[in-house]
Chains A and B, each alone.
Chain A
Amino acid sequence: MSIVAAAPTDYTAPGVEEFWQPLIGDGAWAITRPMFLMAFSIILITWWLLATTRKKALVPSKGQMGTEAVYGLVRNGVAKDLIGSHEFMKFVPLLFSMFVLILVNNLFGVIPPMSYPTMSRIGFPIALALIVWVVFHVVGMKKHGFIGYWKSLVPSGLPKGMIVPIFILELITDLFTRPVTLALRLFGNMFAGHILMVLFITGGWYMLTSGGILVVAGGVTWIFAFVMTLFELLVEFLQAYVFTLLAALYIAGAVADEH
């Protein structure tokens, strides 16, 4: 904030309005730039996945090897390990789609000319979290039955007095905490990371152009902006991974024999 204080005249720190980029129309039904980015990511991902798997080569090309590496990470590293080898295949398409979609849209945050993490618009993380929420409840109820699913929330062997409070806590976790944290975690990381980078870059630029001692501070700020970009890359990957991991964990919990 000292940067802002040192430049009192015309520097405007980035705020939430940075993220509002309507292209067509305005208001609740405006078509926004992140929607275009989302559509572009879908085209990019489907093209890439179909192109690299068309040959189905036993000795893979570099592209196929990359796709197989990501697929192997989700299939074996996440789905198989968490859900177990009996039922995991059903959920691999869901988890794989989710992982690549989040990963590519997150990476858009540091790749020009997109330079915008789609998931910093909370509508998208909510959509994905909602899908996960519906899926893990539905598969849980299919497995245990409607009543059995709610019963399975409470661990067996509790003293009688504890059953009701534990059930209420588990119910809140299951219905509310899990989907909300899933969406908010992804949104928050992308939002905060992007606003921080915008601050470093625009603030650095402002100082570089202000002259005097501020030029040095501006240079240092830009170096930090570069470091932040690398850090953002890590965060973007990790958030995609964590989202997929938790989705698999919730599904695993729902289909598990014992909660």
Chain B
Amino acid sequence: MQAVTVTAEGGEGFWATAAPIIPHPLEFFFGLVCFAILYVVVSKKVVPRLEQIYAERTAAIEGGMNKAEEAQAQAQAALEQYQAQLVEARSEAARIREDAKAQGAQIIAEMREHAASEASRITETAHKQIEAERQQAVVSLRGDVGRISTDLASRIVGESLHEETRQKGIVERFLAELESGDVVREKVGGAAGSQGGEA
């Protein structure tokens, strides 16, 4: 370092070659002033702005998290409600099924009863009709039998006995006797003779 001499770089004199740890007074004061200016700007403007950004960002993140938690709670509540509704619906369905079963059984029983009464009614009506027809047939037969017998008798006798038979009710009487079981044999000739004699 013997080559060090006063130089081209700066001026001459004390400050050019002074030991580097001797502070230059104006630089020292200027440093203080500059730092003061920077400090004022930073503390009045920059730090408050950055802190505001920090706070807002934190709030935004926490708000977002709260919102997410709220949404999750809502979803949970909805799920529980849904499940409760599902359980309710299931029990409701089961109840309806039970009801329907009971109702169906009742309806079947009613129908069965109804059908039975209907059947008995129809049977009874048929019985009555048959009875009525039989009566009618009996009546009609009785008349026919009387008329045919009389016709037959008239052929045998040779003249019409219809008037007499009707007057005396012979046929009716005979049939009545027949129904009651005490049939008395009569001689057709004698009777016819006597009847004819009387006619």
Contact = CB atoms under 8 A, between A and B. Distances in A.
Interface of A: 1, 4, 11-13, 15-22, 26-32, 34-35, 38-39, 41-42, 45-46, 49-50, 53-54, 56-58, 60, 64, 67-68, 71, 75, 89, 92-94, 96-98, 100-101, 120-124, 126-128, 130-131, 184, 187, 191
B10 A17 contact: yes
Contact of A68 (B14, B43, B50, B56): B50
B4 A17 contact: yes
Interface residues of B, number: 48
Contacts of A41: 34
Contacts of A34: 27
Interface in B130-160: none
Interface of B: 1, 3-7, 9-11, 13-32, 34-35, 37-39, 41-43, 45-47, 49-53, 56-57, 60
Contacts of A12: 3-5, 7
A123 B53 contact: no
Given A93-B39, A123-B25, A131-B32, A58 B4 contact: no
A116 to B, nearest CB: 11
A220 B51 CA distance: 49
Contacts of A68: 50, 53
A93 B4 CA distance: 43
A20 to B, nearest CB: 4
Nearest to A48: B46
B10 A20 contact: yes
Most chain B beta-carbon contacts within 10 A, residue among A17, A38, A124, A191: A17
Contacts of A60: 53
Nearest to A92: B47
A42 B26 CA distance: 17
A108 B43 CA distance: 24
Contact of B42 (A21, A30, A96): A96
Contacts of B26: 28-32, 35, 123
B3 A11 contact: yes
Given A56-B56, A123-B23, A20 B30 contact: no
Nearest to A50: B45
Contact of B24 (A32, A96, A131): A32
Contacts of B49: 53-54, 56
A19 B7 CA distance: 11
Given A4-B3, A29-B26, A122-B23, A42 B37 contact: yes
B30 A35 contact: yes
A131 to B, nearest CB: 6
Given A20-B10, A28-B26, A126-B28, A13 B37 contact: no
Given A30-B24, A54-B49, A89-B51, 6 more contacts: A13-B1, A39-B30, A56-B52, A57-B53, A123-B24, A191-B20
A121 B24 contact: yes
A81 to B, nearest CB: 16
A244 B2 CA distance: 38
B56 A126 contact: no
B11 A22 contact: yes
Contacts of B20: 16, 19, 120, 122, 187, 191
